[in-house]
Amino acid sequence: MIAYPILWDSGVYLPEQGLWLDPRKPRPRAVISHAHSDHVAAHPLAYATAATRRLVTHRRRSTGTVQALPYGQSITLDRCAVTLYPAGHVLGSAQTLVDTDFGRVLYTGDLKTRAGFTSGAAEPVPAEVLVLESTFGKPHYRFPETAEVIADVIAWCKGVRDGGATPVLLGYSLGKGQEILSALAAEGLLIALHPSLYGVTEVYRELGCDLPPYQRLGDTVGQPTVVITPPSARRSSLRDQVGEFKTAALTGWAMDRSLKDRLEVDAVFPLSDHADFEELCCYAEQVNASMTYTVLGFDEELATHLRRRGLRAKPLDQVDQLRLF
């Protein structure tokens, strides 16, 4: 089997090019695929889309130097050229194509192949080596149609309101929160956002994202009909602000039966900003690389299923790192 010179060390590393993709620790030269904190560190020099750079600087005090690279535009570095393509995950998220002398390496970063409200769907990019995220890389993670999920969320919100309480929807400050906000647009509801989510949403708006009206929780004029808050926010003060409330978590992990109890919420809905299992498999089949390396999440399970479907696949962290040198 060919060993491609690609390593895993808390991030994807191309040693011959001296290039890191989403390393967790500061590295001399890196690509930041998107602004979620588990993909960001303060590197001396990093490349990212302008939207990712703006979101990173909003969320972190120390960011290192981040050079903006527009989608589809290549930059030549040592022994390679780097091009970013939309990843569909959150605003500014990118897949990274590294063109090397051993072939094209495509790193998906966090990936979503169905269209969202705030970022377009990821398209497959031809490559010889695919490095594929595996967050929902197990067969039971098959998400229903987005429109169906949203209709269920709206019906739940109305039911909670009819019962005299305020519906509180839980979603991450960056990405999910704005997707939920957009999904509720047509309902004409008074929507209040938790302050951290409000701050990121203001940046989304500044970056040209078309969003329905919203207010900052605490500054609302009138009683909010729906509240959106990050799952990590303390719920103890909510009662003072909105009175009786009920909570629902919107996440792909809703496919796990235990989630509702684990999160101590009243309802769960499978709305995700990632590809589900079948979408990951289809994506790998469409790229049809000579080698697919799985990373993060259920990397072993996903690699096993991809092999059953006729692809060469392996978790990147199981590559024999010493054989490469």
Q: Where do contacts with Zn ion occur on this chain (CB under 5 A)?
A: 36, 110
Rounded to a whole number of angstroms, the minimum distance from the CB of residue 36 to Zn ion is: 4
| Type and span of the H or E element at 130 | strand 129-134
Rounded to a whole number of angstroms, the minimum distance from the CB of residue 119 to Zn ion is: 11
Three-state SS at 321: helix
- Give whichever of 232 and 237 is closer to Zn ion, judged by the CB atom: 232
Rounded to a whole number of angstroms, the minimum distance from the CB of residue 274 to Zn ion is: 8
Residue 64 tokens read as 């290192």
Q: Residues near 147 by Cβ (< 8 Å), separated by ≥ 6?
A: none
Return d(Cα 210, Cα 185) in angstroms, integer: 10
Residue 307's Cβ-side half-sphere holds a number of Cα atoms within 13 Å equal to: 11
What radius of gyration, in Å, describes the C-alpha atoms of the chain? 20
Return the bridge partners of 75, or none: 82
Return the bridge partners of 269, or none: 250
Rounded to a whole number of angstroms, the minimum distance from the CB of residue 279 to Zn ion is: 15
Rounded to a whole number of angstroms, the minimum distance from the CB of residue 110 to Zn ion is: 4
- Give whichever of 36 and 104 is closer to Zn ion, judged by the CB atom: 36
- Give whichever of 92 and 124 is closer to Zn ion, judged by the CB atom: 92
- Give whichever of 36 and 59 is closer to Zn ion, judged by the CB atom: 36
- Give whichever of 43 and 176 is closer to Zn ion, judged by the CB atom: 176
- Give whichever of 36 and 314 is closer to Zn ion, judged by the CB atom: 36
Return d(Cα 246, Cα 267) in angstroms, integer: 8
Rounded to a whole number of angstroms, the minimum distance from the CB of residue 130 to Zn ion is: 18
